[in-house]
Amino acid sequence: MLYFSTNKKSPLVNFREATITGLAPDNGLYFPKTIPVLPPDFFKHLKTKTKEQIAFEVIRPYIGNTIPEEELFTICSETVNFDFPLKKINDNIYSLELFHGPTLAFKDVGARFMSRCLGYFSRGSDKKVTVLVATSGDTGSAAANGFLDVKGVDVVILYPSGKVSKIQELQLTTLGKNITALEVQGTFDDCQSMVKQAFLDKELNENLSLTSANSINVARWLSQQFYYFFALQQWEHEQPPVISVPSGNFGNICAGLLANFSGLTVKHFIAACNSNDVFSDYINDKVYMPKIATATISNAMDVGDPSNFVRLLELFEHNHATIKERISNCCVEDNVTEATILEVYKHYHYILEPHGAVAYKGLEEYLKKNKTDKGIILETAHPVKFEEVVKKVIHHQVELPVAMEYLFKLEKKSTIIKPEFEELKSFLLKG
């Protein structure tokens, strides 16, 4: 399997090179030259396969010969060694809970898969790899946990000061060792822009071996397909589901669409956005126009210039009509998100966090117009990660999982920097 840059000005590379470099030299994102289609026999036996088998068979074509199969199976096993339950909320809507991993967020899968791939690629090398991560919360905590103590890898996390939840901040600032947190006095888009600039800076790349753990990295992005196969493995209805995905940087929904292109049967996708909704503008006007991000209570989706949008365009060969046919758009404001959390809690005794609530509202509105359909929302984080918002809405304490209690006894350690690339560059070069 070879990968090309979405900007079409860089040479083809294999999975190893794409993972290590993160961003292509021409500032494009790597994309598979061909999309593998899984054989009918795979889907015939989907319900009886283990999670490890599913992950291995899904990802194997993308890896090529860069990782031996036995090693790859071990990586897959360690990546998905927790539950991904599909819970019924009501007769028409189900929740795929992606928060049963070590940091209580869906990004655990991508971070664990990438960290283990990078750890394998780093064996025998004298030069350390520096992983740069821009985060609006969960990417940073998942990366910190996934890469902790991985030999030959240092992780530098950039997060927007005051714009992540308390538990998210503790998860990414208290580990120490090979994990460093930079608290940026700006937005997530500032963090993401600084990381992208770092990959293009000649001096930095001459002195450091840089890569990214954001979903711009193929290892992070491709492994997110696993959720969708786990969802369909548990789906008990004859008609395929509509899947509503909380969408910020668009890596998650692009992974679901990739699984769909590989043969996984999904009736329709919903890109559920908060007020940062450049996708709706694209659907309505056929023009992609980045915006300055607006802060919301579903903060992981506060993205005004989603990096993975170029991958979505690549999947559909830039065909606007096909995109509009396969993906619905919705924009959910904070007051509606809060009302949805309260409504679902009152009627179904299910606690949604803000991102899942955005997905729920998008799916609910879609099902009003398509009454014979049923669907799945992706519940991407545990409600406790947004405890202040949820408690205010439902007037009920969200119970902290026992596994997270230790965090509140640890000391936060972060370095505050301005949202300026030269500050990041100076920090990295000082080492």
Using CB atoms within 10 Å of the CB of residue 326, give its burial: 0 to 12 exposed, 13 to 18 middle, 19+ buried.
middle
Neighbours of 91 (CB within 10 A): 7
Residue 311's Cβ-side half-sphere holds a number of Cα atoms within 13 Å equal to 28
Element (H or E) spanning 341, and its range? helix 334-348
The pairs formed by 344-350 with CB atoms below 8 angstroms and a separation of 24 or more are: 344/89, 345/393, 345/394, 345/396, 347/90, 348/89, 348/90, 350/87, 350/89, 350/95
Element (H or E) spanning 87, and its range? strand 86-88
Nearest alpha-carbon partner for 58 in 44, 84, 81, 76: 76
DSSP 186: S
Distance of CA 166 to the CA centre of its chain: 20
- Scanning the structure block, which residue is given the tokens 């009627």? 347
DSSP 411: P
The beta strand positions in 233-371, using DSSP E, are: 242-246, 268-273, 327-331
State the catalytic residue, choosing from 47, 51, 107, 371: 107
Query: Is 346 a residue of the active site?
Result: no
- Scanning the structure block, which residue is given the tokens 């030069």? 127
Strand partners, 381: 105
In three-state secondary structure terms, 178 is: coil
Give CA–CA dist 158/189, Å, rounded. 11
Contact indicator for 218, 15 with CB cutoff of 8 Å: yes
Strand partners, 29: 23
Give CA–CA dist 332/334, Å, rounded. 7
Element (H or E) spanning 203, and its range? helix 202-207
Q: Please give the torsion angle defined by the CA atoms of residues 101, 106, 111 and 117, in that order, rounded to the nearest 10 degrees.
A: 90
Q: Show which residues are catalytic.
A: 107
